[in-house]
Amino acid sequence: MAKYRKLGRTSDQRKALLRNQVTNLLYHGKIVTTEAKAKEVQKMAEKVITLAIKERDNYETVKVTAKVARKDKDGKRVKEVVDGKKVTVYDEVEKEIKKDLPSRLHARRQMLQVLYPVKEVPTENAGKKKGTKEVDMAAKLFDEIAPKYADRKGGYTRIVKIGQRKGDGAMEVLLELV
C-alpha cells in the first residue's frame, strides 16, 4: 500500500499543489477541492497545526532598543540640516519582542518548508504593489490557530462532501478547520 496519493502529477507538481492548498486552508479557513486532494492536504495541515500547538508557548520576551525614523503627520521622514547635509532624524524606542527558543525556531522552519509566503492586498489597491503586506503564516499558526486547538487532541480539520463536479464528475469536498 502506498504512503501517499500521486494525484496524477510529477513529484514537484504534486508538492507545489499540496503546499499551496495547505497554505490557503490555513489562511482562509476552508477550501473546496477534490476528495483525494483533500485527504492529502488534511494530513499535511494536521501535522503543521500539531507542531504549532506543541511549540506555541516556547518563547521568551526580550526588551530591545531600536532606532526608528521620526515621521511627520503625512508619514514622511523628518529631515534636519547638519553641516550642510540633510540627515534623517532618529528616535530610540524600547520594544518588547518574542524570541523563539531553539525548539520553536526549528518548528517555525519546518512549517515554512510546507507553507508558501502570503501577500495580503487591500481591495482598493487590487493589482497594485502599494499597500500590500506579507503575512507571516508561522506567526499566525502560533498566535491564532494553536490557541484555538490547544485542548484538542487531533482532528483539526473536517471534510464535508459537496457533490460531483459538473465537468468530470469528480467528488468535490469542502475542507475546513473545525
CATH code of the domain in which 118 resides: 3.90.1030.10
pLDDT 10s digits, 32-72: 999 999 999 999 999 999 999 999 999 999 999 999 999 88
Mean pLDDT of 82-107: 92
pLDDT score, position 1: 63
pLDDT at 162 over 90: yes
Last residue of a domain, one of 73, 100, 127: 100
The Cα 83–Cα 17 span in angstroms is: 57
90 inside domain: yes
Instruction: Say if residue 96 is in the same domain as residue 142.
Output: no
Instruction: Say if residue 83 is in the same domain as residue 149.
Output: no
**C-alpha distances in angstroms, 60 versus 73, 80, 104, 122?**
35, 38, 11, 33
Instruction: Say if residue 41 is in the same domain as residue 110.
Output: yes
Residue 84: pLDDT band with limits 50, 70, 90: confident
The Cα 131–Cα 123 span in angstroms is: 10
CB 22 within 8 A of CB 41: yes
Q: How far is CA 102 from the centre of its chain?
A: 20
Number of structural domains found in the chain: 2
pLDDT score, position 83: 86
4 inside domain: no
For 153, phi and psi rounded to 5 degrees?
-105, 70
Instruction: Say if residue 81 is in the same domain as residue 120.
Output: no
> Which residue's entry shows cell 483539526?
156
pLDDT 10s digits, 109-131: 999 999 999 998 888 877 777 77
The Cα 60–Cα 48 span in angstroms is: 22
Mean pLDDT of 153-172: 95
